Amino acid sequence: MELTKDEAMAVADFIDMNLFQAIRNDEEWDSMMCLRNLIHVYEKACEYSGYVGMTEPRPYREGES
C-alpha cells in the first residue's frame, strides 16, 4: 500500500485532532497495542508528509526565528 504525501498529511491531521477525544469518549478503550499502533502511524505519516501538529515543536527552517 502506498500513500501520497497529501493522504499521509490528512491521516496525521485526523489523528492529531481526534485521538484524545476518541479515547475520552470511549469508556471501553483499553488497548495499549492499538494506541501504540496509532502513534506509530502518526509518527510515520508526519515524517513522510512533513505534518507538524499544533502541540509539537516545529523543526528549525533557514530564515525563521
Query: CA 2, CA 40: separation in Å to the nearest integer?
Result: 16
Whether residue 12 contacts residue 45, with contact meaning beta carbons closer than 8 Å, is answered with: yes
Q: What is the DSSP letter of 58?
A: P
- Residues of the domain holding 27: 5-49
**Which tens digits make up the pLDDT trace of 1-35?**
899 999 999 999 999 999 999 999 999 988 999 99
Whether 22 maps to a domain, the answer reads yes
- Dihedral angle over CA of 24, 14, 17, 12, nearest 10: 110
Q: Which three cell numbers stand for residue 52?
A: 507538524
Please indicate, yes or no, if residue 33 is contained in any of the structural domains.
yes
Please count the structural domains in the chain. 1
pLDDT at 14: 96
pTM exceeding the 0.85 threshold for the entire prediction = no
Backbone angles phi, psi at 48, to 5 degrees: -70, -45
State residue 44's pLDDT score: 95
Assess if residue 15 is contained within a domain: yes
Cell numbers for 47: 515524517
